[in-house]
Structure 1
Amino acid sequence: MGFNHSLLRFAGIASFSLLLAACSSSQVQEPDLPEHAYYEKAQQAFSEGLPATAAKNLQELDSRYPFGEFSTRAELDLIYAQYESGEYLSAHASAERFIKNHPDHDAIDYAYYMRALSTYVGSQSLLQRYLDTDPSKTDPKELQKAFREMSDFLQRYPNSDYAPDGKARMVFLRNTIARHELQVAKYYLKRKAPLSALKRSQAVIEHYPSSTSVEEALAISIQSYNDLKLDNLALLNLSVLQKTYPDSSHIDEQGNFIPLPLPSDADPSFWYWVSFGLIG
């Protein structure tokens, strides 16, 4: 009992000593700068091309003066600073936070735009993960997310100053995702999986009808139905192709369907689109 009592007493003294040390160390921390000083330091960092430093100062301002005079401006600037620093996930999170906290702000369209843009540009980096020898395993979900977010921004703020850029990026996203889907569909046709190929081609027709890939999607659908021995559905899709694209390269002079030449693994154009342009 005496030994245990001494041990507990020693532990109590040690804990108290650690508490005193912690208190003394906290006393030597540098005092906070005035709110405007953090904001000015951030603007100076921007002017010197140092967005990461700007982001650090803006985060300091936000944590020390969350309801200050510069807090809302700092939240907007932080989105841009993180984006310029390549911190796309952080920029996206900051944009979402601004949207939640300031739904009626004059610059809310900018927050929606930057949210979508952060996903869009971040997805370009994520494409490095898609370098797989089996294109059916690739997943363009980040590009699809960017497409949805940019569409949301344009629907909410069609007259925004950022709308023209958003529309241009939407066109690129639509065509890239659709082209990728078709190359994966061709991969399935090559691997004798026509049902999987059909699902990919039909997804393009349904979800990206204004893309540049609809004609080829119809052709893949026809070939998939032919491989599945569903002749009536193949003829139905052929009639749609003939009416919509009368000069299609997939139709001969007699109106018959021309089977698709399937790419080989060595075809650079095949891997170019499967990898979103990273190969070939």
Structure 2
Amino acid sequence: MASWLVAGCGTTTKDETSGWSTDKLYSEAKEEAANGNYERAGKLFERLEGRAAGTLLAQQAEIEHAYVLYKTGEKAQALQTLERFLKLHPTSPAADYALYLQGLVNFNDNLGILGSIAKQDLSERDQQASRDAFQSFKQLVDQYPQSRYAEDAQVRMNYITNSLAQYEVHVARYYYRRGAYVAAANRAQQAVQEFQQSPSSEEALFIMMRSYEKLGLVQLHDDAQRVLRQNFPTSPYLTAEGLRSKERSWWQFW
């Protein structure tokens, strides 16, 4: 039994970083991350967080670890790490980057209709991550307008706004095509109210106008048409030919 215990102890994995300084540990972790070795980089950053606890270097390691988790697809863990960081270090010099990275984790380049549209009910597609990303970017822009990340965050906010508006219009169109005119009008109205500056509000107003017409709500139809004409005086939705063209494209699309 004693010889077995000795043999077992001999197989214990040795921590090769035990004699490293925190600076060396950080540089090695950075190099591993730069080379795409994210799993090893993550382990090194974790060790650095423990050894440099209470220092700015430990904060940096925590942020870098969150980035590594993001790159390896560990979205939930990355968000948890960033949320904890922002809660514990709200005045950290890296708080702006933490917000930016939080936005990036939730950001999706294929938002709404800008990506391929899956064969599923559009009303079931979750846009919460997009909204969460927007809030992180907005907080960054509002609190740190001079941040090096603020300009890109603003660009992404605009992209998200337009994508969410397009998503709402797609859902409204989906309902309209299936004869659910009340749902179509409500969803289109939501798009207009939330995303007034988006180009998609033009079509949203048109869907409201047509839905109210189908429902026999003359006053609401006229109001929607008036707003459409005021904001988009050259809209093709206001001409008979343009209307026919647009409605044909709807059926071809779906």
TM-score, shorter chain, exceeding 0.5:
yes
Unaligned 5+ runs, structure 2: none
Q: How far is 1:164 from its partner?
A: 1.0
Whose radius of gyration is greater, 1 or 2?
A: 1
Q: Which residue of 1 aligns with 2:216?
A: 229
Retained in 2: the 8 A contact 1:88–1:122?
no
| Structure 1 residue 185, shift from structure 2 partner | 0.7
| Alpha-carbon distance in 2 for matches of 1:164, 1:239 | 36
Matched, 1:204 2:191: yes
Aligned equivalents of 1:148, 1:174: Cα separation in 2: 11
Structure 1 partner of 2:14: 30
- TM-superposed CA distance for 1:46, in Å, is 2.5
Does 1:193 pair with 2:193? no
Given that 1:58 and 1:78 are in contact with CA atoms closer than 8 Å, whether structure 2 keeps it comes out as yes
> What are the equivalent positions in structure 2 for 1:1-280 lying under 5 Å apart?
28=12, 30=14, 33=18, 34-36=20-22, 37-63=24-50, 65-67=52-54, 70-121=57-108, 131-252=118-239, 258=243, 261=247, 263-264=250-251, 267=253, 270=254
Q: Which amino acid aligns with 2:167?
A: H
CA distance in 1, matches of 2:10, 2:100: 41
Shift of 1:204: 1.0
Partners in 1 of 2:84 and 2:156 — Cα distance?
23
Q: What SS is found at the alignment partner of 1:211?
A: coil
Give the Å deviation of 1:206: 1.0
Q: Which runs of 4+ in 1 moved over 6 A?
A: none
Q: 2: distance between equivalents of 1:89 and 1:145?
A: 13
Aligned partners of 2:29 and 2:45 also within 8 Å:
yes
- The offset of 1:86, in angstroms, is 3.1
Q: Tell me, which stretches of 5 or more residues in structure 1 are unaligned?
A: 1-16, 271-280
Which deviations, in whole Å up to 9, do the C-alpha atoms of 1:10-35 show, x marking residues without a partner? Answer: xxxxxxx9xxx7xx859945356145
CA contact (8 A) 1:35 1:65 kept: no
**Contact 1:89–1:119 under 8 Å retained in 2:** no
Aligned partners of 2:136 and 2:202: how far apart in 1?
27
Deviations 1:68-103 (A, max 9, x none): 673122112212222333333322222212111111
SS in 2 for 1:38: helix
Does structure 2 retain, via aligned residues, the 8 Å contact 1:181–1:201?
Answer: yes
Q: CA 1:209–1:35 in 2, change beyond 3 Å: closer, same or farther?
A: farther
CA distance in 2, matches of 1:168, 1:113: 12
* Contact 2:169/2:187 (<8 A) preserved: yes
% identity of equivalent residues = 28
Q: Distance in 1 between matches of 2:135 and 2:34?
A: 33
Q: Distance in 2 between matches of 1:162 and 1:218?
A: 35
Cα distance in 1 for partners of 2:231, 2:216 equals: 24
Please give the root-mean-square deviation of Cα atoms over the aligned residues, in Å: 3.1
Q: Deviations over 1:229-255 (max 9, x none)?
A: 1100110111111111111111128xx
Shift, 1:133, TM fit: 2.9
Distance in 1 (alpha carbons) for counterparts of 2:232 and 2:109: 36
Over 3 Å counting, the alpha-carbon distance change for 1:68 and 1:136 in structure 2 is: closer
